[in-house]
């Protein structure tokens, strides 16, 4: 079976740097593919960086993002883990994503107090003190509600 090389788009002939990047892309893709085929967890950035000879593991994230942009993989990210799906085969690395719970969700009553307070001319900081929320949390929630409600929010 012939293994194809992954090449990022470029015009004209490839420079030596582009060829090295393409080799790294191919090596990362193959490592992800091996993990998916064997139902193993996605390799860490540290493990992939060591394989590539990188001193900085964060560079691996750039290569995976490029593979994702090129359409070779789909990536789901959680707190401390990622799951990679190989688009061509549909196989994915093992694991599950644990989503971080947001602090301080908003209730309908809090939404009503926020909107009423702003409509009556209170500042976001003043409404935040009433609701035990930060000024920025109130501003963010107001923007979310305004986008959802449209002109009714005014």
- In tens, the pLDDT along 30-77 reads 999 999 999 999 999 999 999 999 888 888 988 998 999 899 999 998
- In tens, the pLDDT along 83-110 reads 999 999 999 999 888 765 566 688 889 9
41: phi then psi, degrees, rounded to nearest 5 = -65, 155
Alpha-carbon distance of 96 to 82, in angstroms, equals: 8
Alpha-carbon distance of 18 to 111, in angstroms, equals: 52
Concatenate the DSSP letters of all residues of 74-107 into one string.
EEEE-SS-EEEEETTT--B-B----PPPPSS---
Owner of token pair 């990047």: 21
Alpha-carbon distance of 46 to 58, in angstroms, equals: 8
pLDDT at residue 99, rounded to an integer: 64
What angle in degrees, to the nearest 10, is found between the helix axes of 45-52 and 16-37? Answer: 130
Token representation of residue 134: 């930060």
pTM of the model: 0.62
Q: Picking from 31-40, 76-85, 119-128, which range would have the lowest pLDDT averaged per residue? A: 76-85
pLDDT at residue 1, rounded to an integer: 43
pLDDT at residue 46, rounded to an integer: 94
CB neighbour burial string for 97-113, b if at least 16 within 10 angstroms, e if fewer: eeeeeeeeebeeebbeb
């Amino acid at each position: 079976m012939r293994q194809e090389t992954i090449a990022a788009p470029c015009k004209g002939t490839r420079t030596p740097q582009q060829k090295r990047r393409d080799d790294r892309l191919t090596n990362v893709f193959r490592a992800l593919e091996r993990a998916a085929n064997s139902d193993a967890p996605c390799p860490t950035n540290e493990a992939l960086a060591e394989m590539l000879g990188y001193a900085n593991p964060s560079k691996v994230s750039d290569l995976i993002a490029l593979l994702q942009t090129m359409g070779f993989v789909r990536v789901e990210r959680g707190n401390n883990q990622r799951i990679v799906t190989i688009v061509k085969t549909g196989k994915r690395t093992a694991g599950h994503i644990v989503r971080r719970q947001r602090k301080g969700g908003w209730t309908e009553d809090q939404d009503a107090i926020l909107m009423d307070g702003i409509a009556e001319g209170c500042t976001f900081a003043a409404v935040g003190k009433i609701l035990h929320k930060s000024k920025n949390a109130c501003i963010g929630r107001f923007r979310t509600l305004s986008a959802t409600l449209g002109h009714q929010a005014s």
